[in-house]
A = this chain, B = another copy of it.
Amino acid sequence: MSQQPSVQPVAHRPGEEGRRNELILTAARLFREQGYERTTVRELAGAVGLQSGSLFHHFRNKEEILLAVMANGIQSVIEEGLAVLEGDGDPAQRLIALFRLHMHSLIYGVGGNAMHAIIFEWRSLSPSARLRARELADAYEALWHRAITEALAAGLLEGDPVVLRKFVLGGMNHMVRWYKSDGRIPPERLIEEMLTAAFPQLLSRLRETP
């Protein structure tokens, strides 16, 4: 577990960035499995082959780890989401693409663990850190706001844009609590079933006028 002296360095500071990243990914997994409060720094350190004291060379305190976990996953999803919204296609196609991206990130990507942290562990943050986490979430939700507003303007959906956004995101994110990818429903079918649940009117329109 700690035989090789160093994993491939990522940035200009060799070793340190690699270790930090390893810690963030491991923390994300542990926080998801056990929760932030019940994951001790000793546990996290042990999981990457360190002693607990060594953790605080990479992070000022435990909270900084949680914040890093949150930021790590969502940033990449935001970038991919922006690309989707600026891509071609009509509002319906963009909304569906954003949906599939979100689901894909939850199921396969590093985004799943990060999203889990954002959803379930925000209360463990101090007020200032909570603000920072809120900014991250807001930046991502802004993408959804755009996509939903467009679809509303095109008459593809109806209702309040905020309620629609919160409802759909809530329904999707809840998936991380119940879905097992090795169960009755394979991942790709799940995504389409969720899409049907979220936007039935939108899909039936697409089928009528292809």
Contact = CB atoms under 8 A, between A and B. Distances in A.
Contact of A171 (B38, B174, B185): B174
A90 interface: no
B200 A123 contact: no
Given A170-B171, A173-B174, A159 B200 contact: yes
Interface residues of A: mostly helix, strand, loop or mixed? Answer: helix
Nearest to A141: B178
A166 interface: yes
A185 B157 contact: no
Contacts of A201: 200-201, 204
B124 A38 contact: yes
Interface stretch (A9-17, A18-26, A53-61, A191-199): A191-199
A168 B108 CA distance: 23
Contacts of A160: 185, 193, 196-197
A160 B162 CA distance: 26
A174 B185 CA distance: 24
Contacts of A172: 167, 170
Contacts of A123: 34-35, 38
A158 interface: yes
Interface string A133-165: 000000000000000000000000111101110
Contact of A197 (B124, B164, B177, B193): B164
Contacts of A166: 171, 174-175, 178-179
Contacts of A198: 167
A142 B196 CA distance: 21
A197 B38 contact: no
Contacts of A167: 171-172, 174-175, 194, 197-198
16 contacts: A35-B124, A37-B124, A159-B193, A159-B196, A159-B200, A160-B193, A160-B197, A163-B185, A163-B193, A166-B171, A166-B178, A166-B179, A169-B174, A170-B170, A170-B173, A201-B201
